[in-house]
Amino acid sequence: MANITANEETIERLATDIPVAVWVTNPGGDRNWGLNINENRKEKFFSSPYLRDAGTGIRVVGELSEEAPANSPFAKEENRGKEGLVPYGGGDCGFFAVSSFSYVTATESEVAFIDGYDKTVFETDEAVCVIMLEVARRNGIEVGDEISLPLYSLTYDVHQNIIYSPLGEQTVKVVGTYDSRENPTEFFLPARWVTGVMESRGIDVNYNDMSGFLKDPRQLSVFKESIKDLGFLEPNPEAYMDFTGAAITVQDEQYITAEPLGQTVVLFRRFQIPFFALVISMIVLAIFLIMRGSRRVMAISVSLGRPRFLCAMGCFLGHL
C-alpha cells in the first residue's frame, strides 16, 4: 500500500510540474508556426476535452511609416524592389493576433494596460492593440491613441511563397504597452477582431499558430488516440513539405519517462488482492500448525480443571 501511494503521489506531482505541450504542425511535423490552419480544424482543436489553455495566433503585417517600404503590396510602383527596411517581407511592423493572453509572448509584469482594459481584451473582438514600448517611443505613439494603417494577413502556397491578403486601412486603439527585449513582435491584437475583418472582406480565415496543454498528462495515450477524431494526422517525416496545419505533435519527452511509474502502480494493484489472500492464508496455517503442537499443553491444562475455551484462547493469543 505504501508503494502504491508513493508512486501515485509522484505521478500526480509530475502531471503538475511537467506540462505536456500540444502543437499543430505541418504533416511532416517539422514546422509549428507560419501555417495555414483552417477554421474547422481550429474549432475541433479547441473543443478537445483533453486540452487546456488552447491558443491560436494570426500573423498580420502593417505599414506604420508614411513611406511604403520596398516589396510591399501597398508600396508605390516606383518604390517596389528598392532596398529598405522590410523585416516581414512586405511591411515595416509585425502584428500577432492572439486568442488569449496566454498566447502573448510576454509576461503579465511586462505589459501595462490603461484603465478599463486588462489581459482579457484579447478574448474580445475590439479593434485594440498592445504595442512594444520601444516602437511607441520611436513613432511618438501614446497609450490611448488611435493609429490608422494598412494591414494584410499572411498565408502560404504550395511553393512556400507568402500570399498577402489586404485587410485595408484599419484603425486600432492602443490600450497598452509591453517592454520585452526578447520579443520581435511590435503589436498584439485580438484574433477575433482580425478574423471578423477577414470575413467581412471575403478572405478565408487561416490561423498561423496553434497550441495547448494536456489537462491531465496521465491521459496522454487517450489523447493520442483521439487525434484522428479531431481531424488531424500524426506527423510523418516522409510527408511532402508544405504549410498546411494538418498534424499534431505532442511534446511528451519529459513526461513519458514517468510512464514506468504508472505501470508499476498497475502491477501493484493487480497483485494486491492475491498478496493479501496469501498472507492471511499463511498466518492462519501457521497458527493452526503451532496450535496442533500445543495440544499436550492444553490437555494438561484441561485435566487440571481449566476450561477448554480459556485454554484454547490462551494458546491462540500467545502464538498470534
**pLDDT of 38-85, one tens digit each?**
999 999 999 999 999 999 999 998 888 765 444 455 444 444 444 433
Q: What is the pLDDT of residue 147?
A: 94
The confidence score (pLDDT) of residue 223 equals 92
Residues with Cβ within 8 Å of residue 107, at least 6 apart in sequence: 180
Q: What is the pLDDT of residue 290?
A: 73
- Amino acid at site 124: T
pLDDT score, position 4: 53
C-alpha cell belonging to residue 290: 503451532
Q: Which mean pLDDT values do the consecutive 10-residue runs of the chain (320 residues) have?
A: 56 67 92 91 94 93 67 46 41 88 86 94 96 91 93 79 84 93 83 96 93 87 90 87 90 66 63 80 80 73 77 73
